[in-house]
Structure 1
Amino acid sequence: MKIKLSNGLRPLLLGALLLGNSTLATSALAEVRPLDRIVAIVDNDVIMKSQLDQRINEVLQTIEKRGAELPPQEVMQQQVLERLITENLQLQLGERSGIRISDEELNQALGTIAQRNNLTLEQFRAALANDGLSLEAAREQIRREMVISRVRQQRVAERIQVSNQEVQNFLSSDLGKLQLSEEYHLGNILIPLPEGADAQTIQHAERAALDTYQQLQGGADFSQLAVSRSASENALEGGDMGWRKAAQLPPPFDSLVGDLAIGQVTEPVRTPAGFILLKLLDKRGGEHLVRDEVHVRHILIKPSAIRSSEETRRLVERLRQRILNGEDFGELAKSFSEDPGSALNGGDLNWIDPNALVPEFRAVMADSANGQLSEPFETAYGWHILEVLGRRATDASEAFREQQAVNLLRNRKYDEELQTWLRQIRDEAYVEIKL
């Protein structure tokens, strides 16, 4: 019986899934054969030929299951060895940093995997043995994955810096305007023009458009006129275009819409398709209004392939108790929080508009007094605890947009920075290849 250990757990540097019909990667605990030998010295550790062979076999199984063409053996061997070296370096960093995975965490991970395979722990152990894999080997591989994850979380997040100039450039870019600008709920009426229309036809359409505009100015119902006169594809919906950002509109509407008050209609504008009138039905976001803001920090722990939601909740509860016992919230957030936008800052979300948060987070925050540590609670992102540090009323529109930009830029930089960091630790390490 082949065991499906995880849908998402995988050797982080290899990129090969722990497939349902393959055995768990056991490179760390591969049995040393009499003819085994060292293939690489990596700082204070070594990689054995048996480890390399085991990992190559795993990669080959993965490639074959995908039906892809196999690379040359020499290329495969070199690529896999390099990945093992980088993985080994991260594990050594974890060891030097004092990162430890408790037996309780490992037991929870194994229990979750067994449960997802609809097996008891004893059945799970027997199934692993049938595949030639010990429970101890499975525990070791899971431990390695968790250590590497925490090393990356600590070392990569602290490298990501977002300058004020980057924020301002992003806010002024087309992408920034698209993602962070206010949205408009619009309706349109299109008075059509056939392709290659002559002057008389154009004049007739223009008069019809101006007549429509005058009726609207006189109080006529926009949706009724859209149904009766518009040639737009949304005419039967009363011309309703839904919510759009200004950057999603063609010129000159992208600039005209920002000057409209809710309920106003643009004058007819000539386009290749005909004369168009837009009505601003509503708008949201980007308002320059005085808002209630909350200064809050949080710790986020996400369920994973090796940790169920209930196990994640219990971990958050333990972190909460450690804070109540006197440990520093910010230091625990740096070590454990899985929110890349705030972990490096000790979980601090800074001053934030509650409306920018998911409802579950917003509700707990509203019920928490200043300085009060919340009970664990769940959102779509995982399990949290939070602490409200202050409340204020301010015109936070610009600051809020800037913080959104910072978070977006930090998340965008993470993958790139991870690869840069991996290359750096490889270049700085002592590595002697003995193939």
Structure 2
Amino acid sequence: MNVKTKLTDCLRPLLLGAVLLGTAAQAEVQSIDRVVAIVDNDVIMQSQLDDRLREVQNTIAKRGAALPPEHVLSQQVLERLIIENLQLQIGDRSGIRITDEELNQAIGTIAQRNNMSVEQFRAALAQDGLSFDDAREQVRREMIISRVRQRRVAERIQVTDQEVQNFLASDLGKMQLSEEFHLANILIPVPESSSPETIQAADKQATQIYQQLKQGADFAQLAISSSGSETALEGGDMGWRKAAQLPAPFDGMIGALSVGDVTEPMRTPGGFIIIKLLEKRGGGSQVKDEVHVRHILIKPSEIRSEAETERLVQRLYDRIMAGEDFAELAKAFSEDPGSALNGGDLNWIDPSSLVPEFQKVMANTASGEVSKPFKSPYGWHVLEVLGRRATDSSEEFRKQAALNALRNRKYDEELQAWLRQIRDEAYVEVKL
């Protein structure tokens, strides 16, 4: 695994381009260094430009693309360094600071996305010629720039209800928010100008394959062994498609399939095709599970140790089991300010919005039952599940998806305008 590339993917979801700052070359001794640009109250050094230029050249080479002339690429890289430097200066003037705890969490997330522990990630960086300290500083800079953009760009973007409704009614909105299907296919090809006997033989073969599938045969294996499709060696996997992207008659029938279903063989210009629905997402009904739950939270403090907290919540649990009213005990003892006055009632809630410890206990507690005391990052709890339901949030989901799409579109436009603005307003003297 190329850790540089993976790290780049994790670090730059919001920045222009996406190459890492600094490499092992930063550790090389620079015999001569000089200022290549003055940017407001800061400078960019030749060594910084050389390091970044080398990174960009390596990235382009790995993609197999042709490199532009070095003087052209150097100007592009320097301009990017200037824009990043301006944003870092804005962050410094705004008092944006990244704590070590936040930085450690970010590093942990990046390591996790690379399927590594932090120590394994550190070792992989070293193997790729990157120091762990340099990587931490890169992440810190990226986080500062992200927060600057959040304050200066994202927070001033407004999307009206009318804009959402117009987007939902537009052809573009319907296309973007329509359901997507993960499909696989098996094609029994029929060449042009085939004889009736050839067509009949292909039809018979497709029917036999369909019957095998209905009896439980593995679709991917049959695709590899029998399909004439270009995706045959991938088990027929076609990836994600929208219904509008499929030829007739599949465009009209795919929405009625359940995951795992296969279509009967269909005659197309290219032959007989069987399609299997592997997954689907978006579009239609968005049903989510909700749980009606109440709880009592007891927190350790300077005057109450962890052990004393655990004993107190155990006594409350015993009192509930002995018949005392859960709500009255929550009002008297719970230290959750958001629910204590309501008898600990959290109302109907999406389990995914809760911490994993609470989710797990709640999932294993039947409706009408009270859990044994358990610990979460917030303290010690005892909970009661009052009910469960499935809620269709399709309309809410569509509106939120439309809002996100419009915000993202406006963000991209606003970001580019803002970057041009700060560049135009800054004092920049290039000394190349």
Report the TM-score when normalising by structure 1.
0.47
Report the TM-score when normalising by structure 2.
0.47
